[in-house]
Structure 1
Amino acid sequence: MSFPRRAGRGGKLAELAPERTLRRLELSVTRRLDGLLNGEHLGLIPGPGTELAEARLYQPGEDDVRHMDWAVTARTTTPHVRDLIADHELEAWALVDITPSMDFGTGAMVKRDLAVAALAAVGFLTVRLGDRVGAYLLRPDGLQRRPARTGKAALYATLQAVLDAPPAQPGDAAFDAPTLPGAITSLDRGQTRRGLRVIISDFLDPAPDDDPAADPAAPAVSGTDTGPAWERPLRRLAARHQVLAVEIIDPRELDLPDVGLVEMTDPETGAVHEIVLSKRVRREYAAAAAAQRERTRAALRRCGVHHLVLRTDRDWIADVARFALRQRRAAGRSLGGVRT
C-alpha cells in the first residue's frame, strides 16, 4: 500500500484545517450552542459554571430555585439566589491515534488526515475562547505528549506534528508501546484538571485471542462479553471529564468490493493473506464489520461519552455541524425550562 505524500502547512494542512470555513461554522452553528466546557463557552457540549458570584434578589419564573442562597434569604427575609461565574482558561486535551491502521483510506482522504481535521475543529473552537489545547499522540513507537498552550500558532504546530509523523511500517511498534487503552489511562492520570477530553481514533480493537494483554494499567473488562479493551479506562476518564469520542471510518472497512482474488495486509502486524472476495465472504465481512461498529457504539454509550462518527468519503464539516445541532437539541430537551 502506498501512502500519500504529505505537503507543508500551506498545502495539506490548509486543506484539512480550513480556518475560514471553521470560523463560519462557529458563527452559524456554535453561536446557538451554550457551553463546550463549563461556563459561558460556546461549543458542542453544554455545561454550567462552578464559581459562586454575589447574591441577588430572586426573580420568580426566571431563576432556578436550586440556586437559592438560603443563608442570605433567612437573614434578609427576602428570597435571594446566587449566580454562577463561568470557568475560564480551561484545558482541552485530545488523544489522537496515529497507529498504522489510521494510514488507510479509500475515500477523499486517509483516516489520519481526517483525524487532523477533527482535531482542528475542536482546537479552533477552543483557542478562540483563550483556553489551552494539548494533545497526546499515540504513535507506533510510543506516546508523545504536546503540552497545552493557547493560541493558533501552538494549535497549528500540533496539527502539523500529526500530519508529518512518518507512516509506520508493520512491525515497527516498540515492544512496550502503549495501546489505545494504555494511552487513555495515561491521559486520565496525567491531566487531572477537569475539562474536555477528545479521543480521536478508529477504535479498532484486537480480538481477545490476539490482544497481547494490552496495558497492565488498563485491563479489559472481565466477563463472557468483555467489551473493547479501551472501555474501562474510557469509563474512568468520563467519570471526571466531559469526553467526546470521534470515530474515524473508511467505507472499505464496512464492505468489500467484488474484485475476486486480492492480497490483504494487516497494517498493525504486517500479516498478508490471499482472499477470494466471493459473495459469501463479502456478506460475512459486512456482517462482522457491522457487529464491530455496534460493539463500539454500545461501549461508548455505556461509558456515557458523546460519539461523533466521521467518514473519509463524507463532508466532515457538515457531519460536525449536524452533530453539534443534535447535541444542542438533546441538551434543550434535558434542561426543560431551566435557563442556561
Structure 2
Amino acid sequence: MSQDTDQTLELLKRVKRIEIKAKRLSNEVFAGEYHSAFRGRGMAFSEVREYALGDDIRDIDWNVTARYAHPHVKVFEEERQLTVMLLIDMSGSQDFGTQSETKKQLATEIAATIAVSAIQNNDKIGAILFTDKVEKYIPPKGGRKHILYIIRELLGFKPQSSATDIAVPLTTLRKVIKKCCTAFLISDFETDVQSFEKALSVVAPKHDLVAIRVYDRHDEELPSMGLVQMKDMESGESIWIDTSRSSVRKAFSDYHIQQLEGRKKLFGKFNVDFLELHTGEDYVPALVQLFKKRS
C-alpha cells in the first residue's frame, strides 16, 4: 500500500471520527439551542395587503399604494431556510498547540459541530478558508455529503500562505453572499484589530456575525524556561527571549491583555457576539451558553 493511500485512509478515518462526535453533540446538546438562537434571522417578502392601524409605515409599498389609491404594506415572514457560513483561519499560527490539540484541530471540531447542527435544521452551510487571501471558497449547500466534504477540507487542506488578514474573509463574504446569513468567524485573531475594523463595519450590519477565538494558553502566557528561541509561525522569523525574567513574562502577558480588550471593544462596537475557547478545553458548555444567550 502506497504512502498516499495510507494518508488518504487516515484522513477518511479522521473525518468519520469528527462527524460522529459532531453529530452526537448536535443531537444531545445543541439541537434546541441552535434552532432558537439562529432561526428566523432572515426575513423574506411574503405578500402585500391593505394598511391596518398599528402597521409600521416603513413597510408601506408606495407603488401598490399609488396604484390603488389606498395604503398597502409589504408583509414579511421568517425564512424557513438559513444560510450558515464558516469563515475559518488556516494561517500558520493555527498549527500551534501545547495541550492535547492544536488550534486548527479545535477550530475544525467547532466548525463541524456547527455544520452538523445547521444541516439537521435543514439549513445550508458553506465555508471560506482563508490566510491573508481566500484559500478556498465552498458555496453553501445542504446534505451530509456536503458536510463531509467541508470536514475533509478542514482536516487535509494545505494553504499556500501562512499569514493572516481577517479583512479578507469578511470582504469576500459581503461579495459572495448577498442575502443575510449567519457567519461564524473562527480564528486566533493574532493580528491588529485596526486591520479589519473597516471590513467589519461593513459586514456586521448586514450579516449575523459570531466571532470565535481559538487560542492556546501559551499564546498569552510565557512559562519560565530560561533562554528560548521563539518562531513566528506566520512570518518564519525567530528571536531569542529570556523567559526567566519576570519583566519579560509580564510584558508578554500585558500585551495580550491589551489585544483582548481591543478585540472585545471592537466586536462590541458592532454588536458581534465574541467567544474565546482554548485548546484542551471542553468547548461544549461555552457554545451552549452562547446559543442560549442569543435565544
Normalised by the length of structure 2, the TM-score is: 0.81
SS, match of residue 193 in structure 1:
coil
Match of residue 79 from structure 2: 87
Greater Cα shift, 10-19 or 319-328? 10-19
Match of residue 187 from structure 1: 173
In the alignment, is residue 272 of structure 1 matched against residue 238 of structure 2?
A: yes
Match of residue 201 from structure 2: 235
In the alignment, is residue 108 of structure 1 matched against residue 100 of structure 2?
A: yes
Counterpart selection for 1:25 from 19, 22, 29:
29
Identity %: 20
Is the 2:222–2:249 Cα contact (8 Å) retained in structure 1?
Answer: yes
Quote the Cα distance in structure 1 between the aligned partners of 2:195 and 2:48: 47
Structure 2, gaps ≥5 residues long: 1-6, 62-72
In the alignment, is residue 147 of structure 1 matched against residue 114 of structure 2?
A: no
Is the 1:93–1:135 Cα contact (8 Å) retained in structure 2?
Answer: yes
Match of residue 337 from structure 1: none
Is the 1:135–1:145 Cα contact (8 Å) retained in structure 2?
Answer: yes
Superposed, 1:92-241 pairs within 5 Å as 92-139=84-131, 142-166=134-158, 173=161, 179-206=165-192, 227-241=193-207
Quote the Cα distance in structure 1 between the aligned partners of 2:92 and 2:16: 20
SS, match of residue 114 in structure 2:
helix
Q: Hey, which of these two has a bigger chunk of helix by percent?
A: 2
Quote the Cα distance in structure 2 between the aligned partners of 1:265 and 1:9: 32
Relative to structure 1, the CA distance from residue 132 to residue 262 in structure 2 (aligned partners, 3 Å threshold; closer, same or farther) is: same
Counterpart selection for 1:299 from 255, 266, 270:
266
Match of residue 227 from structure 2: 261
Q: CA deviation at 1:85?
A: 3.1
Q: Give a deviation string over 1:140-198, Cα, whole Å, max 9, x none.
A: 675211121111210121111011123x6xxx639xx8822123212211221221122
**When the two structures are aligned, how many residues end up with a matched partner?**
273
Match of residue 250 from structure 2: 283
Q: CA deviation at 1:322?
A: 1.6
Superposed, 1:1-12 pairs within 5 Å as 7-11=10-14
Q: CA deviation at 1:257?
A: 0.8
Quote the Cα distance in structure 2 between the aligned partners of 1:66 and 1:254: 52
Q: Give a deviation string over 1:65-121, Cα, whole Å, max 9, x none.
A: 5579999xxxxxxxxx99853212332222111100111111221111111122112
Matched AA of 1:290: I
Greater Cα shift, 7-16 or 267-276? 7-16
Q: Give a deviation string over 1:267-296, Cα, whole Å, max 9, x none.
A: 011111111101111111111111111111
Match of residue 323 from structure 1: 290
Match of residue 222 from structure 1: none
Relative to structure 1, the CA distance from residue 134 to residue 306 in structure 2 (aligned partners, 3 Å threshold; closer, same or farther) is: same
| Higher RCO (C-alpha under 8 Å, 6+ residues apart) | 2
Is the 2:231–2:238 Cα contact (8 Å) retained in structure 1?
Answer: yes
Is the 1:143–1:178 Cα contact (8 Å) retained in structure 2?
Answer: no
Q: CA deviation at 1:15?
A: 4.2
Is the 1:248–1:310 Cα contact (8 Å) retained in structure 2?
Answer: yes
Is the 1:235–1:304 Cα contact (8 Å) retained in structure 2?
Answer: no
Q: CA deviation at 1:200?
A: 1.0
Matched AA of 1:275: I
SS, match of residue 258 in structure 1:
coil
Is the 2:88–2:130 Cα contact (8 Å) retained in structure 1?
Answer: yes
Normalised by the length of structure 1, the TM-score is: 0.71
Q: CA deviation at 1:327?
A: 2.5
SS, match of residue 96 in structure 1:
strand
Is the 1:92–1:131 Cα contact (8 Å) retained in structure 2?
Answer: yes
Relative to structure 1, the CA distance from residue 115 to residue 131 in structure 2 (aligned partners, 3 Å threshold; closer, same or farther) is: same
Is the 2:42–2:181 Cα contact (8 Å) retained in structure 1?
Answer: no
